[in-house]
Amino acid sequence: MKDQSPDFQIVVAELQSDIEKGKLDLALQKFVELSLGDQGYLFTLLDQPSRDFLLDSLNIDATADLFDRLDDAVTLEAAENLSTAQLAVVLEEMQPDEAADLLGDLPTELAEQALGEMQETEDILPLLAYPDETAGGRMTTEFIAMHGETKTSQAIQQLRNVSPDHEVPYYIFVTDNSERLTGVLGLRELVVSKTNSRINQIMDKEVIQVDANLDQEEVANVMTRHELSAVPVVDQQGIMLGVITHDDILDVISEEATEDIYLLASVSGMELEPDSPIPQQIRGRLPWLYLNALTALFAAWVVSNFEELIARVATLAIFLSVVGGLGGNASSQTVALMVRALALGKTSPRKVGSVLARELLVGAIQGLAIGLIVALGVSQWQGNPYMGLVVGVAIFINLILAGFVGALIPLGLKAFGQDPALASTVLVTTITDSVGFLVLLSLAAYFLPRLI
């Protein structure tokens, strides 16, 4: 089926115009006729008066469905505009994992008040014990579990009686008397099985499962690697706690990709958008620019130590940006490759030896290929083969360094439990710039009589 999403800019303009003109019923009708996914996206585009109107006009079920599909920051802002009583009822209607995330984001006092007014909290409270970015924080407690001795006919009847919500994954997770996970059964296998069979006779005993404390990025890797639409979450004793579904993992992949891209671009805060408030933009971007200024000053200090040399051979200033730029680009390439490989589990700090050896070889080949061409070009341009030799060798050494540093920093950060994407261009470029300048100017000082 094709995506029938509307032109959101047109819908936003129409909706806000209807609200301003007092055509409130028409505005509400236009909103509720949209699909749930489109409602969530449209809500983020509306101005605050329009959001307030919708929150006041939607019923509890519709508000809960909307909150389930909004980004965390937007949900938090919307929830804080509700009364405590309204918030408590909406939380009860939301998916348990989404409700737990929202409660974790709310101010402590407001979260406690909302919990105090909720009638049913048994599905949500266990989730609050885990950090948001772990399997336990991502899981939902809505799943289907049955004892292994249950007959297939009884299992089918139980499904009919329960009538699981469409959000619940249609797997039957098989547990023993201690609620330890022992197997999994798909609906197809259940339907085609013999009536009097026990489900522990037809279940798959090899269950892919994850620990509740596993990082969400690792969970995403597990589900992607095994092509799972849902994965059970267990504690250290193997007792089943919940399930992570494919839609949750899509959110994780999107969040992790955004975080890595922003960190590599020296931006903090996944919630930043081009139209984010200016103070929020400044908080996310200015600290990195301060760091960039400091590192640039360090590179300038390296150059300042050769001020007399540059004064005597002014042409060297032309080639500083060439050496530094090539080193920075090469290291950024390596960092991007390493961050992606580490995120997908395709490499690890345990492989540091082989990874560094390969990157050194790649850097040497690229450095030789580019350094040789540049050396020949500079020799012809300046009419001095020694100037070409100095620039070419500096490029060769700097590209080797770029491969080494670009691989070592992400691997080191990963080994210490930090996000490898912190090895942003600000950090690695500082090293390649400074060392590149040092190599170029040191070689120039050595060949000074030949350069004048």
User: Rounded distance, CA 263 to CA 199, Å?
Assistant: 48
Q: Any idea which of 154-158, 180-184, 366-370 has the lowest mean pLDDT?
A: 154-158
Give CATH 3.10.580.10 domain extents, the chain.
144-245
Most confident of 51-55, 254-258, 395-399, 432-436: 395-399
Dihedral sign from CA coordinates of 341, 346, 351, 354: negative
User: What mean pLDDT comes out for the span 153-182?
Assistant: 80
> Could you give the maximum distance between any two Cα atoms of the chain, in Å?
96
The band of 2, judged by pLDDT with boundaries at 50, 70 and 90, is very low
Q: For residues 95 and 277, what is the distance between their CA atoms, to the nearest angstrom?
A: 30
Distance in angstroms (rounded) separating the CA atoms of residues 169 and 183: 15
Read off the pLDDT of each residue in 19-33 and give the average, rounded to a whole number: 88
CATH number belonging to domain 144-245: 3.10.580.10
Q: State how far the Cα of 314 lies from the Cα of 400, in Å rounded to an integer.
A: 27
Helix, strand, coil percentages (3-state) for the chain, rounded to 5, are 65, 10, 25
Looking at the structure, give the CATH architecture of the domain made up of residues 8-132. Alpha Horseshoe (1.25)
How many Å separate Cα 244 from the centre of its chain?
A: 17
Which residues in the chain are classed under CATH 1.25.60.10?
A: 8-132
**CB burial string 1-21: b at 16+ within 10 A, e below:** eeeeeeebeebbeebbebbee
Kindly report the CATH number that applies to the domain delimited by 278-451.
1.10.357.20
CA torsion sign for 316, 324, 284, 280 is positive
Does the pLDDT at position 357 exceed 70? yes
Q: How far apart are CA 229 and CA 332, in angstroms?
A: 34
> Please, where in the chain does CATH 1.10.357.20 lie?
278-451
pLDDT score recorded for residue 209: 93
> How much of the chain exceeds pLDDT 90, in percent?
18
pLDDT confidence of residue 289: 81
pLDDT band at residue 168 using 50, 70 and 90 as cut-offs: low
Residue tagged 């006729």 (tokens): 33
> How high is the pLDDT of residue 1?
42
Q: What is the mean pLDDT of residues 152-169?
A: 74
